[in-house]
Structure formats: C-alpha cells, structure tokens
Amino acid sequence: MSQVHFIVFANEKGGTGKSTTAVHTAIALAASGHRVGVLDLDSRQRTTTRYLENRDATMARLAEQLPQARYEVLDDQTEAGLTAAIDRLSATSDVIVIDTPGRDDPVARAAILRADTLVTPMNDSFVDLDLIGQVHPDTFKITKPSFYAELIWNSRTQRAKVTGKSVDWVVLRNRLQHIQSHNLARVGAAMDELARRVGFRVIPGLGERVIYRELFPKGLTLLDLKQLGEVGMGHIAARQELREMVAGLSIPSIIEQPGQLAAAG
C-alpha cells in the first residue's frame, strides 16, 4: 500500500474559510482520481462533516454520483482516538485531509505532527496576520513571530526528529480583494518577510465570493458546474482560482499525474 499523504488545515482563528478550503481541496483531489479521506476534528461545529453530508444528500436526491471523499468526525477527542480514526481512513485512502477546530486544541496539535502539508488559511488583513507574526504599528515591519508560528516551528522540528521528514507549511491568502490597496500591499510585504524568517510558502487561496456561501447547503463545489444550474463568469473564474490553489499546494500525487486536476469537472 502506498504511503498516505496528510494535509492538515489549521488556524486558531475562526472565519478564515478553513473548512470551505478543506472540502474544496478534498473534492478536487477526489475528482482527479485519488482516494481521499477527510477527518473532521471539530466535533462541536462539524462544518466539514455537514458539508460532505449535504453532498451525499444531493447525490441521493439527483441519483447521480459525484466525486466524494470518505469522511468521519472525531468524536473520541483523544490522541488514541485520533490514531484509530487515521488508521481507519488510511486503509482506503491515498490522501487524508484533516480539518482542525478554530482554537488551540491538544488533538489538533497532535494532528499537526502528522502533517506532510500543513495549510493555514488566512484572511488578507493584519488582524489575521497577527496569528503568525507581530507587526510594528508605524513601519508595518514584522517585529517577531507569534506564539502560533513558534508552535508550528516546534511541531515541524519535532516531526523531523521523529520521522526524518520535512513539513511543507503553506499559508493561503484567502479572500484576496481584486482591487489593490496600500493596506493589501503592506499585508503582502509583511507576510513575505515573515515567510522568509519562519519558513512557510504563501499562495493565493479562495477569493471573497458569495458563490462559496451558496454551495454549502447542497454540498457542491466549484467543480460541480453541471449541478449548479445557471453558471456565470464568476463561477468560471472561481473554479480556475480553486484549481490554481490546489496546484499550488504541490501535493506529490498531483505532481506525479499532471493534467488530472485540469481535466476534472
């Protein structure tokens, strides 16, 4: 059995589009032919699980099969429970996407240690940037990494010692505005500076579009254009945005089979 690639979505702040991004990534990988497992660590909100349950309900209603991931929510909030859930999903998965809760959580920390690709979605603002680095109020230069950045650094170091493997930490700039501004440029410059100091990559994520909020009740994604009914240029642009984001994650299974994601959907 080939080794499973773990993609962990983690951010202690809520409202960053983390679950939406995790679901779209999972479905995009499933659409490209990969066996995908999804583990939802937030047993209270269950946003990711409800999204995928809605997708199952839509397939049943339409009597049509769509790309789907195998998924479960972690009810046993212990490290032993995490290990057992991962073992179950690993039996039938090439890639496992783990969505963590928007808070500091011991099980989430344990999941981060499993990550091959660690994804931190962030809104494009200094409020969200403060999660990983503090900014000088006058110069907008990074003064020091935050507690969260140090936590991720220590987790990556620990994992490297235990497994000998590196972790690809990717920060997604979600909800990028399409109109340039001084504030947007300052956020970008500060993020690039912090990336060099802390060691993560920055890639564009998903934009601020009403489209995403409309997809949840049916469990659909931007790869399901046939099921969306009337489709406009905004849908097409957003789908391309999604494809570029998933490609930017540089998941080995995608790299080894180029062109699959572009053909999906």
Higher pLDDT, residue 253 or 48: 48
- Alpha carbon distances (Å) from 237 to 15, 222, 232, 242: 22, 10, 9, 9
**Pair 204, 159: CB distance under 8 Å:** no
Q: What was the pLDDT predicted at 221?
A: 93
Q: What was the pLDDT predicted at 140?
A: 67
Rounded CA gap, 121 and 204, in Å?
10
Does residue 18 register a pLDDT over 80? yes
pLDDT tens per residue, range 173-225:
876 555 456 666 777 787 788 788 888 888 888 876 678 888 999 999 989 98
Average pLDDT over residues 60-81: 95
Q: What was the pLDDT predicted at 257?
A: 45
Lowest mean pLDDT among 41-45, 130-134, 145-149, 260-264: 260-264
pLDDT tens per residue, range 87-124:
999 999 999 999 999 888 899 989 988 999 999 888 77
> How many angstroms separate the first and last alpha carbons of the chain?
28
Which residues lie across from 121 on neighbouring strands?
172
**At 70, which CATH number?**
3.40.50.300
**Pair 6, 253: CB distance under 8 Å:** no
Domain count, the chain: 1
pLDDT tens per residue, range 234-252:
888 888 888 999 999 988 7
Which residues lie across from 171 on neighbouring strands?
120, 202
Higher pLDDT, residue 74 or 181: 74
Lowest mean pLDDT among 31-35, 74-78, 108-112, 142-146: 142-146
Q: What's this model's pTM, rounded to 2 decimal places? A: 0.85
User: Using N-to-C axis directions, what is the helix angle for 18-31 and 47-62, rounded to 10°?
Assistant: 40
Note down the domain range covering 259.
Answer: 5-263
Alpha helices, H only, 32-140: 47-62, 79-90, 106-112, 126-129
**Pair 19, 121: CB distance under 8 Å:** no
- Alpha carbon distances (Å) from 54 to 39, 48, 108, 209, 229: 16, 10, 25, 20, 17
Rounded CA gap, 126 and 134, in Å?
9
Rounded CA gap, 260 and 239, in Å?
15
Average pLDDT over residues 56-78: 95
Q: What was the pLDDT predicted at 2?
A: 59
